[in-house]
Chains A and B, each alone.
Chain A
Amino acid sequence: MRNFLLARLLQAGLVAVVVGALCFVLMRVMPGDAAMRIAAGRYGPDARIAEAAKMVRLELGLDRPLVAQFLEWLGNLLRLDLGHSLVTGSPVIHELKVQLGASVWLAASALALSLLIGPVIGLFSGLKAGGAIDRLGLAGAVIFRAIPPFVLGLMLMLVFSKQLGWLPPAGFGSAREMLLPALTLALGLAAMSSRVMRNSVAAVARAPYFAFARYKGLPESVVVRRHGLRNAAIPVVSYIALQAVYLVEGVVVVESLFAYPGIGHALVHAVVERDIPMVQGTALAMGLMFVVIAAIVDLLTHWLDPRMRRMA
């Protein structure tokens, strides 16, 4: 266990340095004058940007050598100081707290919703592989996986906000506002997890131990609960780690669409405004989200699958 945690910590540290360095280099090689962009980000497109840019350049020391600026960022990172946003002037860590909280909630709700939808459909599809439910499930999965999240989000807005008037199309602060963006992400996630669950349930249902449980005369619900669910869940849980990519990517799009002030939304703005500390901070937060999700998934599969524990 201790080795496991150490390895994960090491991984997190590596992610931090690599992501930070990559962001820094990429933002620097982008065309255009950073001071001008920061000024436009701060003072808007009607301001006297050239004059403002002169002040920005002085204030932020953008003329200093790049290596010095990067080493400074790295030194600060070791002290857990992510610096200040170049546009708003407030500490990056402070902005991240608010945004990361919002995004984690959104991602967690989306994941929870998708687990309510996907595996349940997958379970019923897998128990009767090739049946009507299975075929419907497949059609649904193909459709929801093929539609890009922003189109799906717009469609949900049109149906639930405009036609039915049940849910707000934008905003944040309560579960009502969270539902549409979370559902947008959840449908895409569920499309995949339902198929993974279906295949693994179908495989379990064909396994001899499952057949034996039925011969013993156990009721179907008990058979599924005792011999089916846990075995079938292992691939689904492993698959969640892969879904994290879809989730983090989806968060960026969905947050912009639903005016939801999370990490993705902040990242888009920071890139446009050349707010390097914010880009580094948000990218870092996203990178660490991957590490954390992967660690949780490892622990879960460990707990689900006794064979892994014997090997460890």
Chain B
Amino acid sequence: MRNRFPLWKNLMVAAVLILGIIYALPNFFGEDPSVQLSAVRAAKVDDRLKVQVQSLLDAAGLKAKAVEMADKRMLVRFGDTDSQLKASDILNERLGDAYTVALNLAPSTPSWLRAFGAKPMYLGLDLRGGVHFLLQVDMDAAVKQAEDRYAEDARSLLRENKIRYQSVEKQNGVIQVRLPDSNTLSQAQVLLKRELRGLQIDVKGSENLIEGRLSEVERREIKRFAVAQNITTLRNRVNELGVAEPVIQQQGEDRIVVQLPGVQDTARAKEILGATATLEFRLVDNEHPVPAEGEKAPLGSHLYRDRQNRPVLLERKIIVTGDQVVDAASGIDQQSGAPAVYVTLNSVGAKKMGDITRENVGRAMAVVYIENKSETKEVGGQKVTTKKKVEEVINIATIRDRFSKRFQITGLDSTEEARNLALLLRAGALAAPVDIVEERTVGPSMGKENIDRGIKSNGYGFVAIAVFMILYYRAFGVFSVLALGANVLLLVAVLSLLQATLTLPGLAGIALTVGMAIDANVLINERIREELRAGSTPHAAIHAGYERAFSTILDSNVTTFVAGIALFLLGAGPVRGFALVLCIGILTSMFSAVLVSRALVNFTYGRQRKLVKIAV
């Protein structure tokens, strides 16, 4: 008997290793200092921008390594940080309003590798510096606002339909409508049931009382909405910070994770995340001409700018504010098929809107977005906070008819635009308050230190193991070390392929996996020695060693795997990273210990028909 793999098995091992090299390789190429451009709302990232950027850079005598477009973003790579910073200043100055300009470190994976879809692992904040915020959305506030709205709606519905009522009150989250008699009770019941579908209506006939509670579905919907809105609002604000590759994600039912790599001014980040924004509806002033530069706006009007920075003259009088917007959804206009936004106002807003639009059919109405921001700057060691108000016309539409409680805004460029406007309207109306419940900041120097230390400890540990294994098991020690190397390679390749985020606990996970992976090799080598001692021939000993060790390896690894899965499912951020590495490491170590090392053994000894001695 001889130890030989069939051809397909050898080819498979070789193929896996080659794929491993391809996908692990991007991690060793380092990064290019780059400038990232992303469009603010209406602006587009296209070839025209590319030409514009090129000419701006040429004019400044800067040479970009590459200009790439991907994912609605443009990436301009440079050879050194010096030109990166210069370019960032120039681009910010020239394109700043329409684009967010951010400094970035882009992986410098060569294009032939990128053609395979190979990308390096993404470094976690603890390895490159930055801030991590966990924000809690105040759901109670969101639900309470919704209840207030429903109470208000119930009142105005009864009034509009001329149903007499004694009182509409809200008590402990229950909306109580008290009516004078059973006749009005049944009328009110029918009306409220039809109009307020989010409420679960109970009738107490004996007391002439209708009780409404938010239905479970509605409650869930309110919460889901509050989080979705806040995420959109936060995304817009983070864009203002000019952060490359921010992460804004929902976590659990009511929390939002915001990760800002590279951010050092955490005070400013907190201010921007916590800023408030509102909306206003105003009529366009068409009696006066738009004043020229430096000229004052006529009395009763105010000069605004739209997103393309064009001047727009609006009446000073506000029709309604965003606080009065109850709901907004995007959709398609039934008649024209154009994108539209459906807005619902509360009763006070609806009355005002109705009155004004009736008198102004044919005129244009604008939606103004207002954000109050505070900016902190360091002046001579002291932090000075200045309040800044940003006002911007985001939409102008013509009034075609009298608006009621529900109306639609058309005249939008695209469905995406409609969706954004709807979100902004909603966000302006009831972005539920958020609290920072967790903050983790890692300075950039600490991030570098963490990487160095993590890699160093991995390297030293690996070398120590390699030396011992080779001394102790000789040829089989060499096979084991090569298999261990293959394990690390495959582990890194799989993590890169999954685009996992590498963190410090992840690096610890790699180290621990390497330490544990050697177990499989030790089990095999010890088995082979044992078989030899028992008098087996070398070939038989190798064969039996691998065969018998396998079931032990399987059992012991499955138990660790179970632990890893539980860690992954229950762990928070950093623990999860560790668990992921542990689980993948177990899989790759089984492959490399069982197949890669066996392939090496077979390759070395398998050809010799009469094998007298093996070095183990």
A and B from one complex:
no
Chain A interface (Cβ within 8 Å of chain B)? none
Chain B interface (Cβ within 8 Å of chain A)? none
